[in-house]
Chain A
Amino acid sequence: MLSIKEYQTVATIAGPLMLVEMVDEAKYGHIVDIELGDGSIRHGQILQVEKDKVLLQVFEGTRGIDVKRSTVRFLAKPLELAVSPEILGRVFTGLGEPKDGGPAIIPEKRLDINSRPINPYARDYPNEFIQTGISSIDGLNPLVRGQKLPIFSGAGLPHDQITAQLARQATVLGKAEEFAVVFAAMGITFEAAQFFIDDLHQTGAIERAVMFVNLANDPAIERIATPRFALTAAEYLAFELDMHVLVILNDMTNYCEALREISAARKEVPGRRGYPGYLYTDLATVYERSGRIKGKKGSITTVPVLTMPEDDKTHPVPDLTGYITEGQIILSRPLHRKAISPPVDVLPSLSRLKDKGIGEGKTREDHADLYNQLYAAYARGKEAQELATIMGEAALSEEDKKYMTFADKFEAEYVSQDYYENRPVEATLDLGWQLLSMFDNVELKRIDIKLIEKYMPKFRKANSEQD
């Protein structure tokens, strides 16, 4: 172990950054402790070393730090998380220190929170269907183990309820396996965090949860480390303790803003909307830690939540996220206003890994054709709805009217469900057939005729009996 060196040579403090001079043996990415004149300790990380000058970011902010009386201690190691099976059921700060008043973790080992990338060859393809009990996800955008599927939300939309429902209901069909929930809160309100924690308490899932909480009034720069702590804990649980881990990162927009703050303080050339040019790479090092590994039992499934400023999907944060994650669940304000809950905007939502997770032996053979048809019909219904708002319903053709009725029913019966309703996937699929039974076979071009003949008759029959 290297000896720890102390310096009192702080030269500049600006924004969240500090420049320390006459340092030797400083290493890029390593951490420091900063002891203030009053004896309190802050934490920092090395952003750049040039000869004997070291640039630091201070996680807790620089307020109250002075140039003369501060001592910087170079700890000669990267940021680490102490892990042991005891971390389950605990609450930590955004910097990985116990926050629940419990004892410090007696570490089995310490892990570098930056981890290392998974060798693409060692990955195993995510193909196990996760039943969430939410029709708009299970039926149309199925989630699979090892996937990263973000929720694109907006201010005032119920993403907290959805993540809580996911944490409550997500199961793999026909299997009882060790699971865990890792929750990283970045800059969210006390209420939002507490809602989630209370929900976990109610279901007893708190015993199998690890939480890293950085609230809105906690230091902003700390948020840069928070998701990495969470994912390090998740990797430990998944790949060393064989658990299936669901990671919820809420809210990634705040994370990116913290990153922007550092970048601006370093006077880097900004990319779009002032976010740094390396935002894509940085986000990738967070999101890409999800997955499965060949020969390991556990898996990491990540659901990042982000709020789109002005519900704008082309804003850099959702945009770059969408390019990394395997799909997205988009929440819609118009649907929310119509009291459709969860207000999942089905058309632009997508799960890229669905095709490997569904079908015979996983969900049901008709799943793929069915969602293709539901999508196509709903898209056409939405088109008709738009047309109707311009010209009035009277101007629509009979066909268009039918599709419009379908779209309304689809939203009200299929998308909408109670936050405590856990709908089995079979029920979701049958509901799809039920809705499509208003069309003739010739309209159902996306479904194999054999499947129509097998599944449709009972719904048709039910319809005719009603008539």
Chain B
Amino acid sequence: MDTTHVSVWREEAHVRKVLAMDETKTGRIVKVAGPVVVAEGMTGARMYDVVRVGNLNLIGEIVELRGDLASIQVYEETTGMGPGEPVTDTEAPLSVELGPGLIESIYDGIQRPLPLLADTEGEFMSRGSVMPGLNREKKWHFKPTIADGTKVSHGDIIGEVQENTQIVHKIMVPSGVSGNVQNIAEGDYTVDQTIALCAAEDGTESNLKLMQEWPVRNARQIRSRLTPNRVLVTGQRVIDSFFPVTKGGTACIPGPFGSGKTVVQHQLAKWVDADIVVYVGCGERGNEMTDVLMEFPKLKDPRSGEPLMKRSVLIANTSNMPVAAREASVYTGITIAEYFRDMGYIVALMADSTSRWAEAMREISTRLEEMPAEEGYPAYLAARIAAFYERAGRVQCAGNPEREAALSIIGAVSPPGGDLSDSVVQATLHVVKVFWSLEGTLAYQRHFPAISWLTSYSFYKDSLRDCFEDKDQGREMEKLTVNAMGLLEQEAELLEIVRLVGAEALSPTDRLALETARSIREDFLHQNAFHEVDTHTSMAKQYEMLKTILHFHKQALSAIEAGVETTEIFKLAVREEIARAKYIPQADITKIAKIRETIEEQMKQLRTSAVA
């Protein structure tokens, strides 16, 4: 979308809002079928306008227009609603409020703050509640970074608010506004107070506030797209070392239920080295959201030592909350993520699960009686999914000062029966660059994260070497991962042979390959998310661990050549040390290098006794 178009949209919305003061457009309900309501007398309403429906004033969005009939998807339960009740057009698309106060918030799918709803309306969600996304009473201390008279336009940073100890909230000029800044002053403001005036050349004046709005279904503007080139370090060994995702990259995690999608998503939300994390719980379990809500304030960010909550925005639209709001939740999340990206931050968005989002689309589509494509999903499913993932990327932000930022999207997919030929999986695989395939068989063995090393892939593997300050180490890490992957592939082949003719038929080197591959799987790839040390592994430690395992392999190979029995090698005491290396805290990682010395000593003993 180009700039002119958006400013036209804003002006029009403004004009229409003025008009709306005089005559509010009101129609009447003629049909109610689940979450879809049809209203008549809606001439002049536009697609995706937000409407208030019925006597209960429920929030809805227009998804189809036919003459003066408008089909509306309603974001709340429609029980008790019938023909004749009023429908009011708000004349604006579904938008979110962006400004100080977003961080540490917990919203439902249409940006209503859940803690406030719980306080005012009780433990159960009631209907028709209106609650602004940002607190209107709280005052924020605003510090300008530009002087009066500065010429600004869309995206320019005019000042800052220290939102919490960790996040500096940059205040930007909203879309469609440009001109000279006047009366800008440091001080304490609420989000909707005027902090400065902006006088355009044609003499019109706009008020600049801490807060702005943005329609969720439109991508926010940027100056230009760049290719993602830095790894988003997650602290998860199988991901960082073998299938890395980048800052600005996209990844998907499909897998059957019970394969650990949500745990992986939670781990990423906890440990990624992003400045801001937006977590969208889209149609998932209530108790899991509660887990996030309770853990994030307690867990410390390994980099800043501050609670993780201080960099997070959570969106929780659980599976039993209205289906249309679920459809919107993903857009609400990505718009908030884009807003922080526009400030120049590295942002990561986790969406769990995009299948539920797609199902919400299907449900609405069915009620609209649209012609279905595969499995009842609407024909535009793939286009919507692609457009969503394309909102990720490393970018040059719009406005001054010049800044670079990135937004990564990591989407979980829940295919029926774990079947990867599912439409949502296939549409997702077309657009994402990283594929973490979760396998039920691994999960049954309690090998977590259950990411299959044989079928997963990443297009960003080349970025891995730049994770290390020492270039040589980076190149070595690259070689190590290639070697390790080679062994794992060899293992898969050898296991086929074992299945046919038995383990006895294997040569000693093959047997060693099997053992080393097992060691890579159990001692490196397997990672316990609930162990205080093992839950997060730095790149440096990953390097040391992998190097040690492969060092054992190399040493064992030469021992076999010297005539040592494989059974002797497998019995070495040092193998237990290798297995327990994952529990060595970050502060003591030099101990892992010491294990390599022990390996050499013990191998030497074996060799000498073999010669004797």
Contact = CB atoms under 8 A, between A and B. Distances in A.
A117 B318 contact: yes
Contacts, number: 228
A285 B504 CA distance: 55
A397 interface: yes
Contact of B319 (A281, A314, A396, A449): A281
Contacts of B258: 322, 327-328, 348, 350, 352
Interface in A403-446: 441-442, 445-446
A294 B258 CA distance: 27
Contact of B285 (A324, A372, A380, A397): A324
A324 B286 CA distance: 9
B418 interface: yes
A114 B503 contact: no
A270 interface: yes
A123 B288 CA distance: 10
Nearest to B290: A123
Interface stretch (A20-28, A62-70, A181-189, A208-216): A20-28
Interface stretch (A46-54, A101-109, A453-461): A46-54
B314 to A, nearest CB: 9
Interface string B414-447: 1011110000000000000000000010011110
Given A125-B294, A379-B446, A49 B320 contact: no
Interface string B461-489: 00000000000000000000000000000
A449 B84 contact: no
A119 B123 contact: yes
B499 interface: yes
Interface string B564-590: 000000000101100110010000000
B359 A120 contact: no
Q: In terms of DSSP, what is the predominant structure of the interface of chain A?
A: mixed
B356 interface: yes
A385 B502 CA distance: 13
Contacts of B285: 288, 324, 326
Nearest to B579: A445
Interface in B123-177: 123-127
A397 B257 CA distance: 34
Contacts of A49: 31-32, 82-83
Contact of B320 (A117, A125, A449): A117
A164 interface: no
Nearest to A147: B287
A123 B281 CA distance: 15
Interface in B77-110: 77-84, 106
B421 to A, nearest CB: 12
B598 interface: no
B366 interface: yes
Given A121-B115, A387-B499, A445-B522, A29 B283 contact: no
Interface stretch (A32-40, A84-92, A165-173, A271-279): A271-279
B123 A118 contact: yes
A221 B359 CA distance: 25
A277 to B, nearest CB: 5
Given A117-B125, A376-B445, A124 B290 contact: yes
Contacts of A285: 320
B287 A326 contact: yes
B576 A442 contact: yes
A293 interface: yes
Contacts of B125: 116-119
Interface in A65-88: 78
Pick from B287, B356, B522 the residue with the most CB of A within 10 Å.
B287
A397 B504 CA distance: 8
A288 B502 contact: no
B558 to A, nearest CB: 23
B293 interface: yes
A121 B114 contact: yes
A198 interface: no
A347 interface: yes
Given A118-B286, A278-B363, A271 B376 contact: yes
A29 B37 CA distance: 13
B287 A271 contact: no
Given A119-B117, A269-B376, A277-B363, A25 B82 contact: yes
B294 A281 contact: no
Given A28-B82, A348-B444, A288 B118 contact: no
B79 A120 contact: no
Contacts of A119: 114, 117-118, 122-125
B445 A375 contact: yes
A355 B530 contact: yes
A395 B290 contact: no
Contact of A30 (B80, B83, B118, B446): B80
Given A28-B32, A314-B418, A120 B356 contact: no
A281 B32 CA distance: 18
Interface in A294-323: 294, 296, 313-314, 316, 319-320, 322-323
A269 B372 contact: yes
Interface in B185-236: none
B382 interface: no
Contacts of A146: 287
B321 interface: yes
Interface string A246-270: 0000000000000000000000111
A50 B31 contact: yes
A115 B124 contact: yes
Contact of B362 (A26, A147, A277, A380): A277
Given A48-B33, A368-B530, A395-B503, A120 B372 contact: no
A119 B131 CA distance: 14
B386 interface: no
A348 B256 CA distance: 11
Contact of B114 (A48, A50, A120, A313): A120
B385 interface: no
A316 B123 contact: no
B375 interface: yes
Most A Cβ at <10 Å: residue of B30, B31, B362, B502? B502
Contacts of A396: 502-503
Contact of A291 (B78, B106, B287, B372): B287
A28 B80 contact: yes
A112 B323 CA distance: 20
A230 interface: no
Contacts of B363: 277-278, 281
Contacts of A30: 79-80
Among B34, B83, B126, B323, residue most surrounded by chain A Cβ atoms (within 10 Å): B83
A122 interface: yes
B444 A379 contact: yes
B289 interface: yes
Contacts of B375: 271-272
A121 B106 contact: yes
Contact of A391 (B123, B502, B579, B580): B502
Nearest to B353: A323
Contacts of B33: 28, 47-48, 50
A355 B530 CA distance: 8
Contacts of B319: 280-281, 284, 288, 324
A147 B287 CA distance: 8
Contacts of B606: none
Contacts of B115: 121
Given A272-B375, A314-B416, A116 B77 contact: yes
10 closest Cβ pairs, A-B complex: A314-B417, A29-B79, A284-B319, A395-B502, A288-B320, A322-B257, A28-B32, A122-B123, A121-B114, A379-B445
Given A50-B31, A120-B289, A387-B498, 15 more contacts: A28-B33, A28-B79, A30-B79, A48-B33, A118-B286, A120-B286, A120-B316, A239-B123, A271-B375, A280-B319, A322-B256, A323-B414, A326-B287, A350-B443, A442-B573
15 contacts: A24-B84, A26-B82, A28-B82, A48-B31, A49-B32, A50-B83, A112-B79, A119-B124, A120-B290, A285-B320, A327-B258, A352-B258, A396-B503, A442-B579, A445-B580
